[in-house]
Amino acid sequence: MARYFNDVSRTFSEYLLIPGLTTKNCMVDNVSLKTPLVKYKKGEKPSIELNIPLVSAIMQSVSDHNMAISLAKNGGLSFIFCSQSIEEQAEMVRKVKKFKSGFVKSDANLTPDHLLEDVLKIKSKTGHSTIGITEDGSSDGKLLGIVTSRDYRISKDSPKKKVIEFMTPFSKLITGKLGITLSEANDIIWNNKLNCLPIIDENQKLKYFVFRKDYDEHKENPYELSDENKKLVVGAGINTRDYMERIPILVDAGVDVLCIDSSDGFSEWQSNTIKYVKEKYNGEVKIGAGNVVDQDGFNYLVEAGADFIKVGIGGGSICITREQKGIGRGQATALIEVVRAREEYLKKTGIYIPICSDGGIVQDYHIVLALAMGADFLMMGRYFARFDESPTKKLKIGNNYVKEYWGEGSNRARNWQRYDMGDNESLKFEEGVDSYVQYAGKLRDNLEITLGKVKSTMCSCGAITLQELKDNAKITLVSATSIVEGGAHDVILKESTI
C-alpha cells in the first residue's frame, strides 16, 4: 500500500525565528554571507563559494547574460536559461566571461590597413571601444597601436579613412610587460592617467588589456564573484535530452557550473546526465541536480554524483505543478527533511552536499528561515524578474509599471524538455503561468535592502555567519492568528503621499 506522511506539509510563512543573544560582535558590518555552492570533503574548502546565498532561476524571463553579470558583481550567481539554442546559450556564457576585469584577452582587433568603417563595425558587434591594432589583426599579433573613441570623429572623418592615419601608434603607448601583477598594472594606469594598459610579451605581441574601469568597478563591488582569472563566475542550466551536445559547448564557452533544470529531479534521466558529466570531465565540471522534496530523492541524486541538490516542487509563484499533477510538498517541510538527509550523509561519508532551496519565498525574512533550516543558498525567480537587469519588457498597466514573468512550464516558454518523461517532444499541459510582476528598479538597490534585512535578522538570532545561524537558530511554528498579529492591525493606516 502507499506510504503516508502524516505530518503537515508546511510553508515558510508558518514559522518565525526566536531571537538569540545579540552580542557586541553581532553587528551588520560583521556578518558574512559566504556559502558553499558545490560539495566538498569536511575540513577542506569547496572549489566554488558564493559571496551571498542567492542564485537566479533557470528561466527565460529571469536569467540571461545581463542578469548574470549584475548578480555576479554583487556576489551571487545566475544559471543562464537552457530553453534556447545551444549556441545562443553558449554566447550568453561567453559574454559574461568576457565582461570581467583583470587581464582581458582582446577580442576587438584590426590591422593598420583597415578603415574607420571597420572600426565602427567591430565596435557595434562587440560593444568594445578600445581596439588593438596588430600586424596581422589577430588578438595576439605584434602590437602596432590602439584605437579608442577619442581617436576619430564620425561627423568629420571619412568612413574610408585608414586606421594607420588616426590610431595611437605604439611609439606613443605606455605598455606593461607580460608577467606583471594586476596590482602593478593598475599602478601604471593610475600613475600615467590611462584608461587602459596593453600588456605585451618580449616580442611586442599583444597579450591582454587592463582597464581602469574594471579597477573602479571592483572597488564599487567588494563582493564580486570571480574566478582565479578575475572573470565573473556564471552557471548554465541544462536538460536531460540534448546534454551530450549542449554541455561540451557550454564548457568550451567557459561555464563554471551546470544545473539540471527540471520540475522533478528524482529520475533516471537526471542520474544518467550527472554520470555523463562526471565520467567525461573526470569530476572537474560541477553539476547540480533536482528538484526533490524528500530523503529518497536526495540520496538518489547524491549517489549519482550531484555537486549540490535543489529542493522544491510547486512552491514557485508561477508554478502550478501541485494543482495540475497533485505532486509536491510545502517548501519548509521539504527542506527540513532533505537537510536531515544531508546531515546523515555527511556523518556517513565526510562529504558536505550544499542544498539550494528553490521556491516558496514571499517575504525577505523567509530567506533567513530557509538558511536557518539548513539551506546553503536560495534560487529565486520572481524576486529577480522585477529588476531592470531581467530580460523581459517593462510595461505600464494602469498607473503601475510591471515586467513580464512567465514560467518554464507555460506554453509561452515551450520548454517541454524540462518536463521530459521520455516520450515524444511536446508539452502535454501547462505547469506554469504567464504573468506580470511589479517593476522594482535596479537589482543592486533592491539587493542592498534585502541583504540588509537578512544580516539584521541574523544578528537578532546571535549569528554573524551562516553556519552559526544553522547551528544556533531557534524556530517556532505559528498559528493563523499570530500571523495576523505579526502585521499592522487594529489601526487606520495613513495613505502614502510618496
Angle between helices 243-253 and 268-280 (to 10 degrees): 40
- The active-site residue, picked from 26, 259, 319, 459, is 319
Q: Which residues pair with 306 in a beta bridge?
A: none
Give the residues across from 372 on adjacent strands: none
Amino acid of residue 403: K
Question: Identity (one letter) of the amino acid at 421?
Answer: M
319 part of the active site:
yes
Q: Which three cell numbers stand for residue 460?
A: 537578532
Select which of 94, 246, 386, 418 is catalytic: 418
- The whole-angstrom separation of Cα 119 and Cα 237 is 35
Q: Is the peptide bond before 472 cis (omega within 30 degrees of 0)?
A: no
**CB-based contact 370:469 (threshold 8 Å):** no
- In the numeric block, which cell numbers belong to residue 279? 565520467
Q: If you search the block for the grid coordinates 577580442, which residue do you land on?
A: 107
Cα separation, 359 vs 380, whole angstroms: 6
Task: Answer for the pair 271, 301: CB distance below 8 angstroms, yes or no.
Answer: yes
Question: What CA–CA distances, in Å, run from 328 to 41, 282, 462?
Answer: 31, 34, 33
Count of beta carbons in the 10 Å neighbourhood of residue 241 = 17
Close Cβ partners of 443 (under 8 Å, ≥ 6 residues apart)? 67, 70, 71, 74, 384, 387, 388, 389
Question: Is 26 an annotated catalytic residue?
Answer: no
- What proportions of the chain, in percent to the nearest 5, are helix, strand and coil? 35, 20, 45
CA nearest 132: which of 214, 188, 206?
Answer: 206
Which pairing describes strands 235-238 and 77-80: parallel, antiparallel, or unpaired? parallel
Helices (H), 307-422: 321-325, 331-349, 364-372, 382-385
- Cβ proximity of 259 and 310 under 8 Å: yes
Catalytic center residues: 319, 418
